[in-house]
Amino acid sequence: MPERFRALILVTTFGCLRWGEAIALQRCDVDLSAGTVRVRQAFVEHRGTGLILGPPKSRAGARTVALPKAALPVLKQHMGDHVGEAPEAFVFTGESGRNLWRGNFNKLVKWPDAVAAVGVPGLHFHDLRHTGNTLASRAPGASLRDIMARMGHDSPRAALIYQHANREADQGIADAIDKAVKAARRKPSKRKVKRVAEGDGPAAEAR
Q: Which residues are catalytic?
A: 18, 126, 129, 153, 162
- Residues near 5 by beta carbon (within 8 Å), at least 6 away in sequence: 92, 109
Helix (H) or strand (E) holding 38: strand 36-39
Q: Which helix (H) or strand (E) holds 144?
A: helix 144-151
Q: Give the residue among 94, 109, 104, 83 at the shortest CA–CA distance from 29.
A: 83
Contact 112, 103 (CB under 8 A): no
Phi-psi region of 16 (alpha: psi -120 to 50; beta: other; left: phi over 0): left
Q: Where do runs of H (alpha helix) occur along 39-143? A: 72-82, 102-109, 111-117, 126-137
